[in-house]
Chains A and B, each alone.
Chain A
Amino acid sequence: GEEVAQTPKHLVRGEGQKAKLYCAPIKGHSYVFWYQQVLKNEFKFLISFQNENVFDETGMPKERFSAKCLPNSPCSLEIQATKLEDSAVYFCASSQSNRANEQFFGPGTRLTVL
């Protein structure tokens, strides 16, 4: 597609439940990035992929967060045992390989942990 797609738009989970978010990058884009935007507007980088390979995972809270980008499937970000502080908007962005720093964002998934 011509835009990054993310599902679902909203997700509500009870504390301790699992949450799974999906992202379809723009067709032909080989880099995918996940960012977390909390209430104060600050963006936190979580993880990036080059095709199906993890490119940079330095921002991931590894004990509960995991992510995948498999061939012919949307990328996913999964949070096991959600905590209240995981409430945020999760954005996915994608970029082309030859202009990898021009990132285009999806509409985001708003996760609310109760």
Chain B
Amino acid sequence: GENVEQHPSTLSVQEGDSAVIKCTYSDSASNYFPWYKQELGKRPQLIIDIRSNVGEKKDQRIAVTLNKTAKHFSLHITETQPEDSAVYFCALDGMDTGRRALTFGSGTRLQVQP
């Protein structure tokens, strides 16, 4: 099955700094790459996504880059704020098998220090 590796598992930054989280995957047929933010005890919330025909997408302080050749995609958060503290999950859509279920990375706990 599809495998997604996510790094780092924890990340601590100072408020105002940038944070980068990277995911690598094994199946080149995947076409959809979302990122979810999950606060403690809450539901995962879709924050940004990218499709395979695009190399980069930006939404205010959040951006995602995709390198299909190298099979990795990254989440970039600029000017981090304490409310960015959460666990972030990358995921991808197993469209190669006709499934639409998401395969998730193992999560990155981001702590933004005020």
Q: Which residues of A are at the interface with B, using a C-beta cutoff of 8 A? A: 4, 31, 33, 35, 40-43, 45, 48, 55-56, 58-59, 91, 95, 100-108
A40, B87: Cα distance in complex, Å: 12
Point out the residue from B38, B42, B102 that lies within 8 Å of A45, measured CB to CB: B102
Report the bound CA distance from A95 to B87 in whole Å: 22
Give the Cβ gap from A39 to chain B, nearest Cβ, in Å.
Answer: 12
Number of A-B contacts (CB under 8 A): 55
- B104 CB contacts on chain A under 8 angstroms: 42-43
B78 at the interface (CB under 8 A from A): no
Cβ-based interface call for B95 (8 A):
yes
Chain B residues with a Cβ closer than 8 Å to the other chain, count? 22
Binds A, one of B18-26, B44-52, B53-61, B66-74: B44-52
Do A100 and B107 contact each other (CB < 8 Å), given the known contacts A91-B44, A105-B45, A107-B43? no
Q: Can you show 14 pairs from A to B with CB atoms below 8 A apart? A: A4-B43, A33-B101, A41-B107, A45-B101, A48-B100, A55-B100, A56-B101, A58-B99, A100-B100, A102-B34, A103-B46, A105-B36, A105-B43, A108-B43
* Inter-chain contacts of B95 with A (CB < 8 A): 101
A41 & B102 in contact (Cβ 8 Å cutoff): no
Q: Which residue of A lies closest to B51 (CB)?
A: A101
Cβ–Cβ < 8 Å partners of A102 in chain B: 34, 46, 49
Chain A positions within 8 Å of B49 at CB level: 102
